[in-house]
Structure 1
Amino acid sequence: MRGPAWPIAALLVGYPVWWALGFGGLSVIVVAVPMAVILWRRRPIRVPRGFGLWLLLIAGYLVSGLMLAEMPPGTYGEIGPGRVVGYAMRLALYTAILIMVLYLGNLTERELPQLRLVRMLGVLFVTTVAGGLLGVFVPSFTFTSPVELLLPDWVAANSFVQNLIHPTAAQTQKVLGFASPRPEAPFEWANAWGSNLSVLLVWFVVGWWVYGGRRRKIFVAAVVALAAIPVVYSLNRGLWIGLGLAVAYLIVRVRGRTRVALCGAVAVAAVAFALSPLAPLVAQRLDRPHSNDIRAFTVTATVAAAGHSPLIGYGNTRNALGNHRTITTGRTEWCEGCGHPPLGSDGQLWLLIITQGFTGAVLYVAFFVGAIRRHWTDRSPIGLAGVLVMGLVLLYMVVYDGLVTPLCLYLISFALLWRNSRGEVT
């Protein structure tokens, strides 16, 4: 794409290249630089309603950095460069996403048509499905990225950084009692893949089905059918619930023949799935809620730790003493299951509570609830889709981390709603 809209095209359409290079979710920081230059040249800058809440969220994160050296009761960890690197990286991502939203909202319809932006998200959906199929059929696929080779060992070895810069096709976990590969390419982890697929599916349908001709609709049907394979093999209950709620939302909000057609399509898809070999796998997953105890322990420990700094949090995550099985901490030869995820790793809401206190969590929720309230009456395809994504954000925040790529897609969806409200698009 020529003109000032090229950075967003490079980010969305060129995402597989970013992933292969080792930038992945960090690519938004790179493209935020030319976006900021474009914004600076076209001052004054338009700002969407409610965006002050996002500015307060970033300001609060700056203040929370004062607590990086503190250790709440019931937690442990060494104060080292890894904690500072994680804090700085999250701050850079929050800021880059802010720049991206302002950049998208200040491009005119001529410079970046709404439908073109929606279809770019659709292209990324196709990439996501391809990555999911890779994770299902070639789960061991992995390689060392150029970025990983160039970074110092002490940075590249950080677990948060490693997930971002080391491309892998799947994340292997013992979800069903045996090693199960869960697709994650081209994103940072399996849950990010699930969250992103559901959001991108919404825009794929809008851009390529609702506003598409016969050939595009055939293409959509084929890709969505293929997507069912990694969706099921992801064993991702949050994704399944999100897709179910998305269908229910659309049935309630659309009218007339569209509602009838949607109900018919859902019924056909449900019957086809029930008769397919994928259905037993879903039943097995629902019978094995293996992560419930882990999540309950981690969430409880997160809230307890945050209670000692409820207003500004601790700037970064911490590790709890013990886990849901034992008072000891860490994996050993005789107890491989004794390890645990860091506090705040079970959802964006809990991450905000430990890093920015309850204040940060309230600002985050208020930002997306406000977007739903302001755009609820927009019944255009983009308006309905954008509000749906804002609702998915509120669902996923209790089970999925927003950083890194999910939050980018959430805020691009917010920008689409903002642009739609200006009345430049019919």
Structure 2
Amino acid sequence: MSLLNYKNTSTKRFLEYVQIDTQSDPESESQPSTEKQKNLSRLLVKELLEIGLKDAHLDEYGYVYATIPANSDKDIPVICFCSHVDTSPDCSGEGVKPVIHKNYQGQDLVLPDDNEQIIRLSEHPDLAHQLGNDIITASGKTLLGADNKAGVAEIMDAIYHLVANPEIKHGTIKILFTPDEEIGRGTAKVDLEKLGASFGYTIDGETLGSLEDETFSADGARISITGVSQHPGFAKGRMESALKIAAEIISNLPKHTLSPETTEEKEGFIHPVGISGAVETASIEFIIRDFTESGLKNHESLLEKIMSEVLSLYPNSKAELKVWEQYRNMKEILDGYPQVTAYAMEAIQRAGIEARQMSIRGGTDGSRLSFMGLPCPNIFAGEHAFHGKHEWVSVQDMEKATETIVHLCQIWEENA
């Protein structure tokens, strides 16, 4: 079911948004982590005010809040749509030049500013479902920023359509655009009382028609090592290098399992993401992932066992493992509110798409929001190959995401 009177504004918005550098910074302690994220957020507030959302504003922490007032007399739960404005620190987001490849016919896409950057159909099987569609990529020097500016553009497009077509009945709808999702701080300073929503949806998923109601549970971990430093000319039998101990711990991790490169579906992993130090002290940073709490504990026990076995070879050194919670599988919360997922599945189907309920090997703002009291599954935005130069999204998938958002607003009204 297509939307009546629909005029696609998501593409125009998206092409403008991605040219604004909003890369977040994990080393920064400020909130937001980079002031430049607010450049896009200020533009969004301006556009929301122009559309007619009178309370649209940007707060000091980089969050954009806005409200579409209800136009139905029914008692309808307040729902929220959320996307994040920042892009990943893993690849440059400065000077993005979006390129539209019209009427895609299955060819490999050679990016114009670096001919060695080729988006191959054989490596991106979802392209096989895009024949005849218009594919947007970056030019080869940067990421694109579809994660999550596609979601931002789709929400903005849906807002524009709802306000322009008041005959579409809906309850009060809240809008939330967050900073710093890519560095795990997307909900650090969110004001849920001010937001005032009962249920939410992040628009930050991948494949057309997907609805993600299950995420990894996630912990961070750090091994801090204290070795024995000696002058290297007189070190025989004395020196115990903390850096070498760290290297041995990493080397003793499983080679054929429990790593991102050897796991899939619901398999978890232990992943070293950083190492630093010198002869006397060193540290290793890890992320630990699994879909269950017990799986996390098993992985952490294995990591501690490996650390202890390596340390047994260095009698004068010591090491300590610290683990902290990052986020948890939102399915634990969403299973208590089945209508939230069911309505989203119906909205996808009304947009003429096969709906697929999926798990995501990662986390979203919705993971944390769910445990903060705002049950919040993740709806597709159409973004693919994110965090790198081969990122892409299709115009038609963005349009379908907009349709899904509008249908979802109607479904909540109809079922009130």
- TM-score, structure 1 as length reference: 0.28
Report which of the two has the higher share of helix: 1
Report which of the two has the higher share of strand: 2
- TM-score, structure 2 as length reference: 0.28
Higher relative contact order (Cα pairs below 8 Å, separated by 6+ residues): 2
Q: Which has the larger radius of gyration?
A: 2
